[in-house]
């Protein structure tokens, strides 16, 4: 049996049923396994289990590797958002995912910004460029609090 943890409750479904439905929506190429069914924003595939949409690459990871720990992202080595090949997927923290995107040039920076400073992670610069790991969130919250306190003191 396969257990998918959803925010509301836990559903138990036979792994065979899910795998059959899942692989009916996959087109295998020489390297990537492409998701050919419906998707959600930014090109990621979407798969419904008991009425709840789950990212197809996350379902693939769970089917082949087991449960995904809380707060972990399933990242792509191939940078193809439609790919569900388990050999191209790895677990990473939000920080790892952001750093991977930054290192591969998927996260674009605005002109005139000191990119060396932004490579330092965690930082407010990383948060402003899209990183939402707990460390960057805490730094941003601290900076916002300081700013608001400064406004009150004027």
- Give per-residue pLDDT as tens, 31-47: 999 999 888 877 899 99
User: How is the chain split into domains, by residue range?
Assistant: 1-92, 107-154
pLDDT in tens, 97-147: 888 888 887 776 655 555 565 567 777 877 877 777 888 888 888 888 888
Q: Residue 100: its pLDDT value, please?
A: 87
User: What is each CA distance from 45 to 33, 87, 145, in whole angstroms?
Assistant: 11, 17, 38
Q: How many CA atoms lie within 13 A of 61 on its CB side?
A: 19
pLDDT in tens, 50-82: 888 899 999 999 988 989 998 899 999 998 989
Whether residue 101 contacts residue 107, with contact meaning beta carbons closer than 8 Å, is answered with yes
d(CA 48, CA 11) in angstroms, rounded, equals 12
d(CA 18, CA 48) in angstroms, rounded, equals 10
């Amino acid at each position: 049996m396969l257990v998918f943890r959803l925010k509301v409750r836990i559903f138990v479904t036979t792994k065979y049923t899910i795998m059959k439905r899942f692989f009916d929506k996959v087109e295998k190429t020489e390297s990537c396994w492409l998701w050919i069914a419906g998707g959600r924003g930014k090109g990621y595939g979407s798969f419904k289990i008991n009425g709840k949409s789950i990212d197809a690459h996350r379902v693939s990871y769970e089917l082949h590797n087991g449960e995904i720990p809380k707060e972990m992202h399933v990242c792509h080595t191939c940078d193809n958002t439609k790919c569900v090949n388990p050999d191209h997927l790895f677990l990473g923290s939000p920080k790892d995912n952001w750093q991977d995107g930054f290192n591969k040039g998927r996260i674009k920076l605005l002109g005139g910004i000191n990119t060396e400073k932004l490579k330092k992670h965690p930082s407010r610069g990383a948060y402003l460029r899209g990183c939402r790991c707990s460390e960057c969130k805490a730094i941003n919250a601290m900076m916002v609090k300081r700013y608001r306190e400064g406004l009150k003191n004027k």
